[in-house]
Amino acid sequence: MCVKHAVESNPDKTMLVLDTDIMVDIQRGFAPAIEWLRTLPETPAITVITLLELLYGCRDKQEQQTVERVAARMPVLYLDEPACQRAVDYFSQFHLSHGLGILDALIAAIVTTRGLTLCSFNEKHYRMIPELRLIKPYARE
């Protein structure tokens, strides 16, 4: 599988990063998600954590190929040392008090160290992280 590496320099910080729940909506063809995605001026990114979660959820080779096909068209943000350090900080600070999970700490750290915005409906997973910009991108009813 060939995936694009996201450009690390993003001076205007407009890149959106899609959380796993948004990607699942897109893969399932949820109309509001698809319509919203089409309105974006640039291709959003995903984190390597989201990519791994999507691959983990595949039940067969066909689903895996679908995930790989979609991911190949999106920039993938990988872990670097600053993100790893911040993830440890987040996890140490918020695991016991707020139930922050390891994967959510990693996703939040990748996004915040780059100053980007996370698109997710999992507000409860991230609400304790004050510097994380989080948006719910479309109606989900």
What integer pLDDT is reported at residue 90 of this predicted model? 98
The answer, yes or no, to whether residue 50 has pLDDT greater than 90, is: yes
Distance from C-alpha of 93 to C-alpha of 45, rounded to nearest angstrom: 27
Distance from C-alpha of 31 to C-alpha of 76, rounded to nearest angstrom: 24
Least confident of 10-14, 24-28, 49-53: 10-14
Mean pLDDT of the chain: 91
Provide the token pair at 96.
């016991």
| Residues 27, 50, 46, 65, Cα dihedral to 10° | -50
First to last CA, the chain: 34
pLDDT band at 119; cut points 50, 70, 90 = very high
The answer, yes or no, to whether residue 28 has pLDDT greater than 50, is: yes
What integer pLDDT is reported at residue 65 of this predicted model? 94
Task: Quick: pLDDT tens for 64-78.
Answer: 999 999 889 999 999
Q: Which CATH superfamily is domain 27-135 in?
A: 5'-nuclease (3.40.50.1010)
Q: What is the residue-wise DSSP string for 117-128?
A: EEE-S-HHHHTT
Residue 109: φ, ψ to 5°:
-70, -40
pLDDT band at 11; cut points 50, 70, 90 = very low
The domain locations on the chain are 27-135
